[in-house]
Structure 1
Amino acid sequence: MLLSPQTHTSMITISVIGPIIGVIPIIAILLFYLVKLFSHQHRGPLQGCHGYGVLITGCDSGFGHQLALSLDLKGFVVFAGCLYPEGAGAQSLAGKSSSNLKILKLDVTNDEDVRQAKTTVQNNLPEKGLWAVVNNAGISDWAEIEWSTIEDFHHMLDVNLFGSIRTSIAFLPLVRAARGRMIYVVSKRGLEAFADCLRVEMASFGVKVSIIQPGNFGQATNILKMKTSSDIWNKLDEERKQIFNRQYIELANNYFLSTCKAGFSNASLVINAMLHAITSAQPKHRYLLVSFADMFFFKLFPFLPTVVTDAVFCLSSMYSKRKNLLYRK
């Protein structure tokens, strides 16, 4: 049967639009439950910070140290976890803060430290409970893969990933009771995936989970270990010394140091993001805090084919020098 162009067009429209109209009620229902799941009546520091507690790990220096002082000024009861509670960083923090800030001995890799810290927090819990946990403690190092030992990798994972998970599991019941916040300072993919899962699970309890993703803040903190080329060279075994010659080690170390100097020299961008995540009625899921140039890599690279992303690095001048300097048989 022949159809007029108008009829043919109408039938095509019906065939395309019909199924879409059919799923609209389903989409509406899904949106309703999603909004219901993620929307909760706001409770918390927007009505005043006094009476709320915040636990921060890694307060000896860097982001954690500065955040602890900022929250203390706002009136929070701050539980500042420090690796060395008698050290200069912790003592400086205690001297600059009010009596609302309490120094805790907290090595996030140590189960007993975490248990004792939880007991201390519970025994000193302010009237409105533990509003937030900021998983800030972390270490950073730089090296090519073959320059590191398996112990190096174990230690970094134990602090950066398992340390945050260990602390989160211990304090989640207290944060859930306050329908508060879990904050993660993330520069590691494993912890980011953990936080993403936790955000979905905690939404049912009114707990919001945020990820802080700082870029190059090496100058603003002391998280990066400064090494000399000799430090790297002396750690290598004889086989690797034959492959990674001394000249290349020197080049790589200088490149790393110059990269650090090119980063942010002030941590205020990160501290402000943390404060927003803790106190805002609608905190962001992610706070990406990088330079404009680095934003290109974070936003675009995940969508590019691997052959393209690899090519970008291969075209860099550092990569060309690396190829020329490395040992070849």
Structure 2
Amino acid sequence: MNTIFFISQIVGIVPISAVLLFVLAKLVSRRPSSHLQDGYGYAVLITGCDSGFGHQLAQCLDHKGFVVFAGCLSPEGAGAQSLARQSSSNLKILKLDVTSDEEVQQAKKTVQDNLPEKGLWAVVNNAGISDWAEIEWSTIEDFRKMVDINLFGCIRTSIAFLPLVRAAKGRMVYVSSIFAFFNCLNMGAYSVSKRGLEAFADCLRVEMASFDVKVSIIQPGNFGRATNILKMKTGSDIWEKLDDERKHMFNRQYIDLANDYFNSTCKAGFKDADMVIRAMLHAVTSPQPNYRYLLVSAMDRFFFQLFPFLPTFLTDAVFSLSPIFTKRKEMLYAM
């Protein structure tokens, strides 16, 4: 009853059945425009093009005729220079650190000064970092850095460029992760940043619907091998960061075991990023892009689609089936 009352308050005490019929009618009556057969006359801004998804997407959109503004952390670096060599003159490398207000504003000015006639069609918020550690192995600075890039970086870029995308009735695309909803061991800081990102994108989607701007979220699974985004460590790297109290709690044997397990898991991921790039292209060019693109193996799809709807006691119980979780409990309680 509380939910019904809340909805009724929002829609002005209109019967819920009438609201549902109205929504269904709107969905049925929507006339999708044609796909963007090519990008001529349109521009797209992509953040994080030094490597990985952003690097590959920039090349694809360039080949489709878009003017591509490729935001790179290191414009003089090997990744940015390789991208420039392999692309047409329509691709422009921008220096863009998404944690810097000054660089975001400078990038906006450059984009505005070089827009093609049809304007800025899309912003793909791809820049991000990944790291793994148990929460007690992390510092507040570890969390702050992760959130500043993965969450606030996207917010900063979005607020700056939304007026241009709104003018073109274009697209906002956000690269999230399955870890936005899958609360896995060792991914606390990363999950915090991506869950916040999805909350932002969901709120933005509702607001932008009034302006015919579509918002999509990309949720890749294990693409560590395809992007090299994951930071590989040794047991010593982790151990040396811990103070004496945590060294006593998390013994060196367990640290090495956790590190080996994580490294082996990373090596089991997708070898290429084709699935993600296809989803990004669909989000940018389709007349009716998906709200979310869940990108995992066919075998894992049912599990990850079901996971967000399971009660908490079941989602937590899933981890008890993991070999590392069982060993963790045995080794730490043995102390």
TM-score relative to the length of structure 2: 0.87
Of 50, 54, 73, 1:64 maps to 54
| Residue of structure 2 in register with 1:82 after alignment | 72
Aligned to 1:220, what secondary structure does the other structure show? helix
Change (3 A) 1:106 1:40: farther
Of 231, 244, 251, 1:238 maps to 244
Q: Equivalents in 2 of 1:197, 1:77: separation in Å?
A: 28
Q: Equivalents in 1 of 2:91, 2:19: separation in Å?
A: 50
For residues 242-321 of structure 1, the aligned pairs below 5 Å read 242-321=248-327
Structure 1 position 108 matched with structure 2 position 98: yes
Structure 1 position 139 matched with structure 2 position 132: no
> Is the 1:243–1:327 Cα contact (8 Å) retained in structure 2?
no
Displacement after TM superposition at 1:35 (Å): 6.3
Structure 1 position 124 matched with structure 2 position 114: yes
> Is the 2:47–2:71 Cα contact (8 Å) retained in structure 1?
yes
Which deviations, in whole Å up to 9, do the C-alpha atoms of 1:184-218 show, x marking residues without a partner? 00121111111111111111111111111000000
Structure 1, unaligned stretches of length 5 or more? 1-21
Which protein is bigger by CA-based radius of gyration? 1
Displacement after TM superposition at 1:315 (Å): 2.8
Structure 1 position 210 matched with structure 2 position 201: no
Q: Equivalents in 2 of 1:320, 1:232: separation in Å?
A: 21
> Is the 2:227–2:273 Cα contact (8 Å) retained in structure 1?
yes
Q: Equivalents in 2 of 1:253, 1:48: separation in Å?
A: 45
Change (3 A) 1:155 1:277: same
Of 123, 126, 140, 1:150 maps to 140
Structure 2, unaligned stretches of length 5 or more? 1-14, 178-193
* Number of corresponding residues: 305
> Is the 1:245–1:327 Cα contact (8 Å) retained in structure 2?
no
- Tell me which amino acid in the other structure corresponds to 1:247: Q
Change (3 A) 1:279 1:321: same
Displacement after TM superposition at 1:238 (Å): 1.1
Q: Equivalents in 2 of 1:23, 1:133: separation in Å?
A: 36
Which deviations, in whole Å up to 9, do the C-alpha atoms of 1:90-141 show, x marking residues without a partner? 1111111110000000000000000000000000001110000000000000
Displacement after TM superposition at 1:24 (Å): 5.5
Aligned to 2:132, what secondary structure does the other structure show? coil
Question: Comparing 303-312 with 75-84, which one deviates more in the overlay?
Answer: 303-312
- Tell me which amino acid in the other structure corresponds to 2:157: T
Structure 1 position 177 matched with structure 2 position 170: no
What RMSD in Å do the two structures reach over aligned CA positions? 1.8
Of 23, 33, 55, 1:42 maps to 33
> Is the 2:59–2:87 Cα contact (8 Å) retained in structure 1?
yes
What is the percent sequence identity of the aligned residues?
A: 75
Change (3 A) 1:26 1:239: closer
